[in-house]
Every structure is written in C-alpha cells, then in structure tokens.
Amino acid sequence: MMRICVISSFGTLSGDNVLKDYAVVQEVAVEIEVRWSELLTVPMFSLLAIEMDGAAVAKLKSPPQEGRAILGDFNFGHPLLQPMFNQDQIAEEDRCRRPR
C-alpha cells in the first residue's frame, strides 16, 4: 500500500465579485491510496479523499472489483455542500419577517 497526501494553498481572489461575502478556499488536500489488486494483478486506487481548509469533504473508496467504487463519507456540514445564499436576499427576508 502506498499513501500520498498532497496539500496546496491558494491566495485570495481580488476584484469585483457577484456575492459580497465571497469566501475563497485557502487549502486543498487530496489523499490517494494505491494498493496492489491480487484479483486484477494491477495497481489500483483504493481511496481518494478530499479536504478543503482542513475539513473533510468526501471519500471515494474502491475495492479490487471493477465498477464497485463508492462515493461516500460526505461531510454535509462542510461549506462546499451548503446552499449558497445571496446576502441581500437574506437581509430582505429578515426585514420582511420583523413585526411592525
């Protein structure tokens, strides 16, 4: 088994953005696990894990059988998997909900 972890850092974006509170990913990590498949007699990717800013996003796990990869271990609390809201729309909805 060979395990590789790659981490890359990014700078921030500048310029006009459509959303006022635009967040930029600062760091991405990819973990790759390579194993030897006795069944297929070839090396194979058995795990691919993705992290953004130190938080897990999801994993792709694969047993030696072809076509059996499973995408799972989703971190539904990660900002990448959250709905995107326009801050102006949220402020307008909050203003409309306030009692008069």
* DSSP-assigned letters across all residues of 50-99: EEETTEEEEEEE--SSTT--EEE---TTSGGGSPP--HHHHHHHHHHHS-
Rg (CA), the chain: 20
Rounded-to-integer distance, Cα 56 and Cα 93, Å: 32
pLDDT (tens digit, 9 = 90+) per residue, 25-47? 778 888 999 999 888 888 888 99
Strand-pair partners of 72? 59
Q: Would you state the pLDDT for residue 39?
A: 83
Q: Would you state the pLDDT for residue 71?
A: 93
pLDDT (tens digit, 9 = 90+) per residue, 81-99? 877 766 666 666 666 766 6
pLDDT (tens digit, 9 = 90+) per residue, 47-85? 999 998 889 999 999 988 878 899 999 998 887 787 776
Rounded-to-integer distance, Cα 91 and Cα 84, Å: 14
pTM of the model: 0.61
What is the domain partition of the chain in residue ranges?
A: 2-13+25-97
Q: Would you state the pLDDT for residue 4?
A: 58
Q: Which two tokens stand for residue 41?
A: 């007699």
pLDDT surpassing 90 at residue 12: no
